[in-house]
């Protein structure tokens, strides 16, 4: 069972930046698709960004041009750089690992955008 641990959340003012990190256990990180999703109170979970083992990326329309997903395979870590943050970005952000139809999820980290 892969374990994922997120870090980097917190409180930031509108227009600010945060970088989330997610480190995975095990040996399949480099051959897996990684991603980030978020869930705000009272809303459905939203897929934010994904990055394949071949480093192809996808983004939700709501974050395109502001968020960047990247990965460091030797460190088993995926990052989400979030710039120009808006109050509507407030949510619990969780990372996931996907490989051959199986998914593992982290516990999540809170991001709050407020003045």
Q: Tens digit of pLDDT for each residue in 56-110?
A: 999 999 999 999 999 999 999 999 999 999 999 999 999 999 999 899 999 999 9
Q: The tokens of 47 are what?
A: 């897929």
Give the pLDDT confidence score for residue 28 in this predicted structure: 86
Q: Express as a percent the part of the chain with pLDDT over 90.
A: 90
Q: Residue 31 above 90 pLDDT?
A: no
Q: Please answer whether residues 40 and 90 qualify as being in contact, where contact means their C-beta atoms are separated by less than 8 angstroms.
A: yes
Give the pLDDT confidence score for residue 1 in this predicted structure: 81
Best CA proximity match to 2, nearest among 40, 33, 43? 33
Q: Give the residue-averaged pLDDT of 3-8.
A: 96
Best CA proximity match to 62, nearest among 79, 29, 86, 27? 86
Average pLDDT of the residues of the chain: 96
CA distance 113 to 10: 8
Q: Residue 115 above 90 pLDDT?
A: yes
Parallel, antiparallel or unpaired: strands 10-12 and 109-113: parallel
Give the pLDDT confidence score for residue 103 in this predicted structure: 93
Give the pLDDT confidence score for residue 48 in this predicted structure: 98
């Amino acid at each position: 069972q892969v374990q994922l641990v997120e870090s980097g959340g917190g409180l930031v003012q509108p227009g600010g930046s945060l970088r989330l990190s997610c480190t995975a256990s095990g040996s399949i990180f480099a051959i897996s698709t990684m991603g980030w999703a978020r869930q705000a109170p009272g809303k459905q979970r939203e897929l934010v960004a994904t990055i394949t083992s071949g480093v192809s990326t996808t983004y939700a329309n709501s974050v395109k041009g502001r968020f960047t997903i990247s990965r460091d395979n030797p460190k088993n870590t995926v990052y989400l750089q979030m710039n120009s943050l808006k109050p509507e970005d407030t949510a619990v952000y969780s990372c996931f690992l996907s490989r051959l139809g199986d998914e593992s999820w982290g516990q999540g980290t809170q991001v709050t955008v407020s003045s």
